[in-house]
Amino acid sequence: MPSINQRFHGLDALRGFAMLLGIVLHAALPYMGFGESMIWPSDNDDSRLIVIIFQFIHLWRMPVFFILSGFFASLLVSRYGWTYWWKNRFLRVLLPIIIFTFIMSATIPWIFKYGYTQKLSLFYSNDNQPHHLWFLWHLIIITLFTIFYKFYSLIFLKLLSILKLSKLIIFFNSIKSLIAKILFDFQIPITLIIILTICSLNDMGTELVGNPVATGMYFAFGYSLYKNNELFHNIIHNWKYYFLSAILFFLIHTLIEEEYISMDFEQSPVFWIPFIFIKICNSILFSFSFIGLAENKFGSYNSILRFCSDGAYWMYLIHLPIVTFITFFMFQFEFFTEFKFLLAIILTTFICLITYKFFVRSTYIGILLNGRKYPFKWNNFN
């Protein structure tokens, strides 16, 4: 286990970066060729380049986020105990869900209608909730699971203690440690990859939005990683090899997606199994490589990275109405798809950063989202 007071600036920045990449993904969706389907309002033109960028980010962004959520949960529990972490989840996760659910219901429905019809008409609707806030609900589910687990474990251990069955207590602790070792304590966690593959053999595949079991597995791995100093330092030192391996799997994935490698999933559903396995390998290997890269190259304090990582939570919570309205507004203009994609990212990021700087960082909203507010300074990131 790392030092109790050690700071992980690189991992904190990576977690923030993973959230900010939500802007890129949601800016990409109108240009992915959904056509007349009701998945997402689509531009007249699509772009294979944007599709590949989307697939690359989408494979690892939320897995690495939940791994890091577990890692930092383990850090907080080690420092302050479970009760502190549970209170932290209530303040930092549940309250933002309640507040921003109303904001999304007041904005997203009419913006999407505008995307489909190019006509503005304001209205309020709870349809299609929780939108991009789904991951917060998963964190709440994980938190509730830990509460029940700790409660029933405490009762069970108390009962064994009263019955003077100390050997059984040692046995169950040994079983728990063995399961964690089998699942997580490998340089390549093949058991975890296989279990995640099995968990993803459903209609949604590797999409995590409807699969809290999979997000819970990523979270549990991150929780275990904080306590596994040897594996953590191995990931930091060997991030290049994880990255090269991930690139190989991503190349195979792209060749399948672009139909250079033929897999007829309708005629032969069995092909779904190796394809899901490849996607999970991508998720794990890219997560390992970026975790290692973050701590290897960005492990020391940097004021700009700190500012961006502090602002990432707010920027993610608020970005969806902004990026969707900008991309849908640009449907009426005929110029390069990639330029519209890039412009939407830049404008959304700028608006989110400005609102964070002036309306969040030095206000009580900052306390809600980040646990503190900073003195306001016009030209300083510190």
The residue-averaged pLDDT of 283-300 equals: 95
- C-alpha neighbours within 13 Å on the C-beta side of residue 198: 6
- Asked if pLDDT for residue 270 goes beyond 90, the answer is no
pLDDT of 80 higher than 60: yes
Is residue 34 scored above 80 in pLDDT?
no
pTM of the model: 0.93
**Every domain of the chain and the residues it spans:** 9-370
**262: confidence class by pLDDT, cuts 50, 70, 90:** low
CB of 218 closer than 8 Å to CB of 67: yes
- Nearest CA-CA partner of 287 in 248, 246, 230, 342: 246
Long-range contacts: 362-368, Cβ < 8 Å, 24+? 365/314, 368/91, 368/92, 368/95, 368/96
Least confident segment among 61-75, 83-97, 251-265, 335-349 = 251-265
Residue-level length of the chain: 382
